[in-house]
Amino acid sequence: MAAKSCHSFFKQKIMKKTVFILLVLFAFVACKDNGDPKTELAATTQGVMDPLPSWNEGPTKSSIMEYVQEVTNEGSAMFIPVSERIATFDNDGNLWSEQPAYFQLFFAIDRIKALAPEHPEWKTTQPYQSVLENDMATLMTFGEHGLIQIVMATHAGNTVGEFEQIVKDWLATAKHPRFDRPYTDLVYQPMLELIYYLKANDFKTFIVSGGGIEFMRPWVEEVYGIPKDQVVGSSIKTEFVMEDGVAKIKSLPALDFIDDKAGKPVGINKFIGRKPVFASGNSDGDLQMLQYTDSNSYESFQLYLHHTDAEREWAYDRESSIGRLDKGLDEANEKGWTVIDMKNDWNVIYPFQLEK
């Protein structure tokens, strides 16, 4: 499935339930200066329009909406100027699923197998060896850092344009092992609504992910509506080359930056240059991003997604090798951050479930 048709497919699925809401939100985004945010928010409060229809009523949804209403209200002591409304979202396990393994890992496995003949040393070097031996259990022990190593190592030598096409070709054909659907079908409908809700309220939304920046950029724009230049992630080094008079950027087999844990606030400062007021994540790898946001002198919002739904998605937290949420959960409880209980707070997980 090409990115284009993926987008069309995605749009079709969500249309049945949320088309009206999204159209209204888009209208505000498209011409925010002519819209009246107060009218919109008042309508929402009165239940006339719900910008977060896939979120069940309750303290989680209320805390998000009350925050947004307060900080966008010029008369409030919590008012935040538009230029300071920076919202950052982790990607894996936060905007789309990350089980039974990071989706980028499935991509990397296919790439490693395709590239293995050129790299005989991988047969005896971890974590490559476990990939080639289909030994997922061993592979998982290397965690997100191991994934980053694998992915970065397998991306070298391509131009940016070539790699973008490789990712799009993979997304067009690969299927998730449990749901037998394209990976981009496994984005969270409630989080899409949250992104649009924040955008409609003049927040500038960024992805801040431990995943590879060049793996995300080919598709996040169409799937999340977040521009390529608003994606912060891990990266490998690149170089500028002139080949036959044509300027190109090529990837090099060396890590440039790991955008995880303490790297997330560093990446935010480097790319965004401003402390977020709203941060959303799901693992201990996001903790420093939430701590950094929490230190904002403006009223800030920290949101953790707790995977509690083994039936519709997955349930995991303190013991998981993927997306472990342990210290973060303690700190969220201690500091009163908002924690999404996926099972109880979301009435829909994926856009394709809106069909039912």
Give me the residues that bind its own copies (CB under 8 A), please: 30-31, 33-34, 83, 86, 160, 204, 206, 213-214, 217, 221, 227-231, 235, 238-240, 242, 246-249, 256, 262-263, 265-266, 269-274, 288, 291-292, 294-295
Let me know the angle formed at the C-alpha of 119 by 118 and 120, rounded to the nearest 5 degrees: 110
CB of 5 to its own copies, least distance (A): 18
Cβ nearer to its own copies, comparing 191 with 231: 231
Cβ nearer to its own copies, comparing 83 with 124: 83
CA-atom Rg of the chain in angstroms: 20
Alpha helix segments (H runs only) across 232-312: 263-271, 287-294
CB of 307 to its own copies, least distance (A): 25
CB of 235 to its own copies, least distance (A): 7
Q: In sequence order, which residues have a C-beta less than 8 Å from that of residue 235 and are 6 or more positions away? A: 152, 212, 213, 214, 255, 256, 257, 259
CB of 167 to its own copies, least distance (A): 13
Cβ nearer to its own copies, comparing 164 with 345: 164
* Nearest to 163, CA basis, from 95, 241, 171, 8: 171
Cβ nearer to its own copies, comparing 218 with 351: 218
CB of 300 to its own copies, least distance (A): 11
Classified as helix, coil or strand, 343 is helix
Cβ nearer to its own copies, comparing 240 with 319: 240
Cβ nearer to its own copies, comparing 182 with 263: 263
* Nearest to 92, CA basis, from 101, 80, 83: 101
120 prior amide bond cis, ω within 30: no
Cβ nearer to its own copies, comparing 14 with 231: 231
End-to-end alpha-carbon separation of the chain, Å?
23
Backbone angles phi, psi at 306, to 5 degrees: -100, 120
For residue 197, give the amino acid letter.
Y
Cβ nearer to its own copies, comparing 110 with 294: 294
Rounded to the nearest angstrom, the gap between the alpha carbon of residue 71 and the centroid of all alpha carbons in its chain is 23
CB of 254 to its own copies, least distance (A): 13
Q: Checking phi first, is residue 22 left (phi over 0); if not, alpha (psi -120 to 50) or beta?
A: alpha
Query: d(Cα 322, Cα 268) in Å, to the nearest integer?
Result: 23
Sequential DSSP letters for 308-325:
E-TTTS-EE-TT-SSS--
Rounded to the nearest angstrom, the gap between the alpha carbon of residue 111 and the centroid of all alpha carbons in its chain is 22
CB of 213 to its own copies, least distance (A): 7
Backbone angles phi, psi at 320, to 5 degrees: -75, 140
CB of 204 to its own copies, least distance (A): 7
Cβ nearer to its own copies, comparing 50 with 221: 221
CB of 312 to its own copies, least distance (A): 33
